[in-house]
Amino acid sequence: MTRIVLIVILWTSCFSLAAQSDSQAALRIESGFWKQDFYQDSLHYDLADLIDLFEIDAQAHELIRKANNQHDLALFCQISGGFLALYPLFNDAIGREPNYNMTYIGLGLIGVSVPLEISSRHKATQAVMRYNQRQMSSLKASLKLSPNGLGLSLRF
């Protein structure tokens, strides 16, 4: 009777350890033309949300911080470049003297934002891959019954 109770206790503890190690599913990336979305199971993460999630791995955390900073700089260049490119056109439409040099500066800022955004996406992808590798190499527990007796194995 005590063997059965011991087997049941070990069996449930192994399943709880296995459930803890499998609870962290891998992050997946869905890229669109304008945006990169990150999903873990049914949870949606933005790039800024991943900074707190990646604190357990120093290199992935550093990569995701750099990616977020570059994304923010690229977004600033896109917004300010769009304003500078369109402002002279609005001045011309309302009858003021337009300064088309601002349009060229705005187009230049938009052009600078493209490589920044590409680099940001590349670094975010590297950080997610590194995070997923760390999650997949976590503790795995299993309980095995053999003719010789009960076996418990922990794999790292």
Query: For a pLDDT cut of 70, what percent of the chain falls above it?
Result: 72
CB 96 within 8 A of CB 86: no
Q: Quote the mean pLDDT of the chain.
A: 82
> How many residues appear in the chain?
156
Give tens-digit pLDDT for 36-62: 889 988 889 988 889 998 998 899 999
Q: Answer whether 0.95 is exceeded by the pTM.
A: no
Q: Give the C-alpha separation, 67 to 133, whole Å.
A: 19
pLDDT at 137 over 90: no
